[in-house]
Amino acid sequence: MIYKGKDSIPLAWRDFQVDLLPSKCFRRKTKRSIKNIVVHWTATKDYKTAVKVFKRRKVSTHFTIDVCGTIYQNVDLINRAWHAKGFNNQSIGIDFVNPFYLKYQDKDDPWPVIESKVHGRRLGKHLGFKPIQIEAFKALLAALVEGFDIP
């Protein structure tokens, strides 16, 4: 179950954990009108490093999807995470653990290599997402779209 204040949203995914960030990393709210879901990658190799970066930079995300497909809830959905300046109050943040740069390719368990654009800017080739992460993301999106009536 995903935490949303005193309420919860059902999640059809086998590996979900709550690992809340300290309050210095987000703003407490009681009412938010969710209109967007913002997706990022962490540019880290693992979840523990991503959390260290969040804490050091005093930023946050509502959810982090680890390499193995574990979904971590880092901020209660009633609170405003600091992940997308100008959109934080109306959005939910989701971060994929992903080292991004090709030099971090894992030879034993390789990442897909993709090319992409963000806001019209070409990023060139970089590491994509693991198939298990995509499946976790689909389950999380389905729960959030249903729970917040997001088109």
Question: What number is the average pLDDT over the span 20-35?
Answer: 87
pLDDT given at position 28: 87
pLDDT given at position 29: 79
Question: What number is the average pLDDT over the span 34-43?
Answer: 94
pLDDT given at position 126: 96
96: which residues sit within 8 A by CB, 6+ positions away?
39, 40, 41, 42, 64, 65, 129, 133, 137
40: which residues sit within 8 A by CB, 6+ positions away?
61, 83, 93, 94, 95, 96
Query: Where exactly are the structural domains of the chain?
Result: 2-97+135-148
* pTM for the predicted model, two decimal places: 0.94
What's 2-97+135-148's CATH class? alpha beta
